[in-house]
Structure formats: structure tokens, C-alpha cells
């Protein structure tokens, strides 16, 4: 860099900091990569949420969860430098497309630079397994060697072998939240780490009542299962009698028969009608008010039926803490 032509260096330190603080996180990181002097100026601890997405076009995303900035790497040179914005009811996100012959390596290098620059750690990881063959083992090795634990892990796959998914679960150190968007070719039981606090399984055709009752986490959602309203009724009664899930905060289950939910799902369960509760995602719409039930120790829970944008219905049960709306991606 030619310092004589780079006017920022002519300003005093306070003015330089003001200019740098006006940059969005991605431009800030890119500025620091211009030279050693730029990195020295920009090196300061910052508080951001960081998500890494592993796929054909890997993504580094940084922000506060509501307003986010992302770099996406591609092998298509003609698209280098392209920017666009995506919005959802609960998030605003700006993308920058960057060219690289080695997109995965470029993302890793960019993250490691940002971590050394700002002292940021990782908040979540998304792994799109359809985009990788054996390379996914290399990705898992890098994750394990770079991070002690990962707060949130999201795994995507379509018509993949369950054995491959189990390998991911066995080799990624997920601390708090695990969400599995995985269509498997087999109906085999998954072994989920009992230490996590939140679980979401979006394609659970293999889930049985025994598996449901064995789960230990305080928040879990099981979708596209074949569990019946009778199974759901058994779960509710077990919680009310304090036979299981004593630390439950939230529970979501798809309804295979919405019409019989009250007659069978709530059979022999005393309840009062209450107001609707917030859904877990912005795309959920409450069908009616909530059913208020009480555990034998006096703790109450609200059960509400929601319909998604895909017209799929699920029952959501919330206890103790207010249900926090989260991102649906």
C-alpha cells in the first residue's frame, strides 16, 4: 500500500477509529487485509455473532442476529464482487460474492483472519452434506481442531445414509443446539448427545414413542414423525405426573391427525383455555387459543396448535420460560 496516497493514515487516531467504525463488519475485515498497517489499526475486540456454512459456496456470516453481513465464495469469476440483500420478517442480510479457486479454503482463511483481528469465536455452523463426498471428514477434522465446542450446529442432507449423519453427530462437538434437516434413506435410530439443551429433527419418520420418552434435553421439536395423538397424550400425562422430562421448557410435535387432537391428544387431561402463545418461528400461525395444563407440583404449561406456511400442523408446548422466537433458517 502506498501510504502517501492513502489519506486515512494522515488523520489522527480518534478520527481513524471513527472512519473504521462506520464500516460494516465485512468491509472492516477486508480493510484490515490490505496491509500490516491496516491490520494493526483495525485490530480490536468486537462483539459479533458468527456463522460458518459449509457447502459448494461456503459462507462466512457476521452480525447481531438481526442485521447480518455475509461473504459467499464461488468459482464463477464473472460474479466476483456482486452484492445483494435478502430480508425476512426477523432478519436483514447483505451478501458479498467473492471469487476463489478454492472456496472452502478461502472461507477458512477469512475466518481465521477475522478471529485474530477481532477476537470473535464461532456461534453456529451449518453443514450441507449433499455438497460433499469424503471431503466432509476433512471439514469435521478442521472444526474439531479449531473449536473446542460449537454452540449451535445445523446439518442438512437429502436421501443420505443415516450412518453418515451419525458420523457427523459423533465427531462434531455441539454444545447447546442441534438441528437436523436430513432426509435419510433408512429408518435407523440416531444417537443424540445427551449434553445438548435443544434438539430439532425435521424428518423423524424413524422416531418411536420410546425414543421420544428417552430424550433428556429441555427443548426439542420432532417433525414429520408417525407419532399419534395417543402417543402425544402419553407424553403430556407423563410430564404432568412428573414421571419424565421434569426440566422441559418447550416441546413441538407434528400432528398426524389434527381433528382428533383434543379428543385423543388431550384425553383425560384437565385444561383451561388461554391466549395464544408466540410460535417458535415467524412463519407459524396459531390456529386457536392455548390449552393450559398443570403439573402435579403446580407448574403450568401452555399447548397451542400452529400451522406453518406449508399448511402443516404441530402442537407446541411451553413451560416455565417464555418461548423465544428464533430464526427459521
In this prediction the pTM is 0.88
Length reported for the chain: 329
| H or E element at residue 13 | helix 13-21
pLDDT given for residue 261 in this prediction: 97
Cell for 312? 402443516
Residues 198, 177: contact at Cβ < 8 Å? yes
Q: Where are the alpha helices (DSSP H) in 98-242?
A: 103-118, 135-146, 162-171, 209-214, 229-240
The x, y and z cell numbers of residue 314, run together, are 404441530
Query: Distance (Å, rounded) from C-alpha 108 to C-alpha 60?
Result: 9
Q: Are 154 and 126 in contact (CB under 8 A)?
A: yes
- Give 263's Cβ-side CA count (13 Å radius): 4
Q: Which domains does the chain have, with CATH numbers?
A: 227-329 (3.30.160)
Report the distance separating Cα 215 and Cα 137, nearest Å: 27
Q: Is 201 strand, coil or helix?
A: strand
CB 307 within 8 A of CB 276: no
pLDDT at 4: 43
Q: In 57-79, which positions are buried (b, 16+ CB within 10 angstroms) versus exposed (e)?
A: bbbbbbbeeeebbbbbbbeeeee
Q: What is the CB neighbour count within 10 angstroms for residue 132?
A: 18
- Residue 305 CA, distance from chain mean position: 23
Provide the pLDDT for residue 188.
78
**Whole-angstrom distance, CA of residue 187 vs CA of residue 224:** 13
One digit per residue, pLDDT tens: the chain, 329 residues? 444 445 666 666 667 778 788 889 999 999 899 888 888 878 888 889 999 999 989 999 999 999 999 999 999 999 999 999 999 999 999 999 999 999 999 999 999 999 999 999 999 999 998 888 778 888 999 999 999 899 999 999 888 888 888 999 999 999 999 999 988 877 778 899 888 999 999 999 999 999 999 999 999 999 999 999 999 999 999 999 999 999 999 999 999 999 999 999 999 999 999 999 999 999 999 998 999 999 999 999 999 999 999 899 999 999 964 444 444 45
Residue 300's alpha-carbon distances to 5, 6, 200, 213, 217, in angstroms, are 67, 64, 23, 20, 19
pLDDT at residue 8 in the model: 62
Q: CA-CA distance, 34 to 216, in Å (whole number)?
A: 49
- Nearest residue to 182 (alpha-carbon basis) of 164, 209, 196, 197: 164
Amino acid at each position: 500500500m502506498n501510504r502517501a496516497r492513502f489519506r486515512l493514515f494522515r488523520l489522527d487516531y480518534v478520527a481513524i477509529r471513527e472512519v473504521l467504525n462506520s464500516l460494516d463488519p465485512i468491509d472492516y475485515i477486508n480493510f484490515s487485509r490490505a496491509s500490516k498497517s491496516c491490520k494493526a489499526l483495525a485490530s480490536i475486540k468486537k462483539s459479533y455473532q458468527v456463522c460458518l456454512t459449509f457447502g459448494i459456496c461456503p459462507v462466512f456470516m457476521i452480525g447481531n442476529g438481526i442485521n447480518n453481513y455475509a461473504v459467499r465464495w464461488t468459482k464463477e469469476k464473472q460474479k466476483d464482487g456482486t452484492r445483494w440483500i435478502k430480508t425476512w420478517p426477523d432478519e436483514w442480510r447483505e451478501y458479498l460474492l467473492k471469487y476463489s479457486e478454492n472456496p472452502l479454503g478461502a472461507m477458512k482463511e477469512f475466518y481465521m483472519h477475522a478471529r485474530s483481528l477481532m477476537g470473535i469465536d464461532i456461534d453456529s455452523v451449518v453443514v450441507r452434506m449433499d455438497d460433499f463426498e469424503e471431503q466432509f471428514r476433512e471439514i469435521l477434522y478442521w472444526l474439531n481442531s479449531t473449536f473446542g465446542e460449537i454452540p449451535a450446529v445445523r446439518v442438512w442432507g437429502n436421501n443420505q445414509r443415516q450412518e453418515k449423519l451419525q458420523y457427523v453427530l459423533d465427531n462434531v462437538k455441539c454444545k447447546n443446539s442441534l438441528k437436523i434437516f436430513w432426509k435419510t434413506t433408512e429408518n435407523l435410530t440416531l444417537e443424540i448427545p445427551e449434553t445438548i439443551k435443544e434438539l430439532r429433527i425435521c424428518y423423524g419418520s424413524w422416531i418411536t414413542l420410546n425414543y421420544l420418552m428417552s430424550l433428556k434435553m429441555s427443548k426439542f421439536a420432532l417433525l414429520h414423525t408417525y407419532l399419534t395423538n395417543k402417543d402425544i397424550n402419553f407424553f403430556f400425562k407423563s410430564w404432568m405426573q412428573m414421571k419424565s422430562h421434569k426440566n422441559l421448557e418447550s416441546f413441538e410435535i407434528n400432528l398426524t391427525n389434527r381433528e382428533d387432537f383434543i379428543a385423543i391428544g388431550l384425553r383425560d387431561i384437565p385444561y383451561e383455555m388461554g391466549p395464544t402463545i408466540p410460535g417458535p418461528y415467524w412463519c407459524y400461525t396459531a390456529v386457536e387459543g392455548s390449552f393450559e395444563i398443570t403439573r402435579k407440583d403446580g407448574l403450568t404449561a401452555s399447548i397451542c396448535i400452529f400451522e406453518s406456511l406449508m399448511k402443516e400442523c404441530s402442537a407446541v408446548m411451553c413451560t416455565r420460560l417464555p418461548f423465544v422466537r428464533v430464526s427459521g433458517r
